[in-house]
């Protein structure tokens, strides 16, 4: 299937490693020009080098997306490099794991800026250009915990659901302008964050991380942890021309972990 991504321009937030990088690489392989974003310049440059040789072009910007100045700089530089932004992948590292009693108000404020404020502001920055051109894709990478809250992730459980609601609202308001907005809800995927969460949950249970991961796999119908490319493939479809009639959706990529019908 031709996804219609050749020549599109995509900003992929937090894309120097993990799920963000895999999404950026997959889009570049489909012919999109990608803008790599991360806080560390050396990691940005390394990610660009790993993408070199694919069908699409790549550039990179070092910025802190938890700040308004960082978000504005990223969008300005991306548009300066490629003249426009067709696709925005709203992605970022999750807040620290822990129980409700572990976090004070400052922790909640920090997590809000990281997860919710950044998604709102980036959407505000990219939408006008998308509406003007009559084509755009916004995809927020949230988590399966927005449907099935899990232990030790109270900040994510609570705040990522707000981003799903934001995408649904944007879909309602901008659907007639040729812009789609969706959420992608990863389950357990083999990333650095997954390793940290598994360790925190194992420590709470008084078990080894390996024992915890083995138990976790038994709760997933496909019987294993997911691979980053499996998530990236779905992301590429959702931001493509092929997915022009998919908007306002919150789609899990979790091997069947979330046991709900809706």
pLDDT score recorded for residue 174: 98
In a domain, 158, yes or no: yes
In a domain, 198, yes or no: no
User: How far is residue 56's CA from residue 203's CA, in Å, rounded to a whole number?
Assistant: 43
SS3 state at 178: coil
Q: Which residues contact 7 (CB under 8 A, 6 or more apart)?
A: 31, 32, 33
In a domain, 148, yes or no: yes
In a domain, 210, yes or no: no
pLDDT score recorded for residue 206: 87
In a domain, 145, yes or no: yes
Side by side, which strands form the sheet with 9-12? 58-62, 33-38, 9-12, 87-90, 136-141, 179-186, 250-253
Q: Nearest CA to 76 among 61, 92, 96?
A: 61
pLDDT score recorded for residue 213: 87
User: How far is residue 222's CA from residue 258's CA, in Å, rounded to a whole number?
Assistant: 12
Sign of CA pseudo-dihedral 126, 177, 237, 249: positive
Q: In a structure prediction context, what are the per-residue pLDDT tens digits for the chain, which is 262 residues long?
A: 789 999 999 999 999 999 999 999 999 999 999 999 999 999 999 999 999 888 888 999 999 999 999 999 999 999 999 999 999 999 998 898 899 999 999 999 999 999 999 999 999 999 999 999 999 999 999 999 999 998 889 999 999 999 999 999 999 999 999 999 999 999 999 888 778 777 877 888 888 888 888 888 999 999 999 999 999 999 999 999 999 999 999 999 999 999 988 7
Helix, strand, coil percentages, rounded to 5, for the chain: 50, 15, 30
In a domain, 4, yes or no: no
pLDDT score recorded for residue 34: 97
**Burial per residue of 170-207, b for 16 or more beta-carbon CB atoms within 10 angstroms, e otherwise:** bbeebeeeebbbbbbbbbbbebeebeebbebbbeeeee
pLDDT score recorded for residue 212: 82
- Output the pTM of the full model: 0.94
Strand segments (E) across the chain: 9-12, 33-38, 58-62, 87-90, 136-141, 179-186, 250-253
In a domain, 20, yes or no: yes
pLDDT score recorded for residue 66: 92
- CATH number of the domain where residue 182 is located: 3.40.50.720
pLDDT score recorded for residue 88: 98
| CB 48 within 8 Å of CB 223 | no
Domains identified in the chain, total number: 1
| Residue with tokens 């194992």, as numbered in its chain | 202
Q: Which domain holds residue 14?
A: 9-189+227-253
In a domain, 237, yes or no: yes
| Residue with tokens 């990219």, as numbered in its chain | 126
pLDDT score recorded for residue 135: 98
pLDDT score recorded for residue 216: 85
């Amino acid at each position: 299937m031709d996804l219609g991504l050749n020549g599109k321009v995509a900003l992929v937030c937090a894309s120097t490693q993990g799920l963000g990088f895999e999404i950026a690489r997959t889009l570049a392989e489909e012919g999109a020009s990608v803008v790599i974003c991360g806080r560390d310049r050396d990691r940005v440059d390394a990610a660009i080098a790993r993408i070199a040789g694919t069908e699409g072009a790549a550039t990179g910007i070092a910025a802190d997306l938890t700040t308004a100045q960082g978000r504005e700089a990223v969008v300005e530089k991306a548009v300066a490099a490629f003249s426009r932004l067709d696709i925005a992948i709203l992605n970022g590292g999750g807040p620290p794991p822990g129980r409700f009693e572990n976090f004070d108000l400052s922790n909640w404020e920090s997590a809000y800026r990281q997860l919710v404020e950044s998604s709102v502001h980036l959407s505000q920055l990219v939408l006008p250009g998308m509406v003007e051109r009559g084509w755009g894709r916004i995809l927020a990478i949230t988590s399966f915990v927005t449907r099935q809250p899990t232990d030790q992730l109270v900040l994510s459980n609570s705040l990522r659901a707000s981003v799903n609601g934001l995408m649904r609202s944007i879909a309602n308001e901008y659907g007639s302008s040729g812009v789609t907005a969706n959420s992608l809800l990863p389950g357990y995927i083999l990333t650095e964050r997954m390793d940290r969460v598994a360790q925190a949950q194992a420590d709470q249970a008084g078990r080894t991380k390996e024992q915890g991961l083995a138990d976790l796999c038994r709760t997933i119908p496909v019987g294993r942890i997911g691979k980053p490319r499996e998530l990236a493939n779905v992301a590429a479809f959702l931001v493509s021309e092929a997915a022009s009639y998919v908007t306002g959706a919150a789609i899990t990529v979790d091997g069947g972990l979330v046991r709900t019908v809706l």
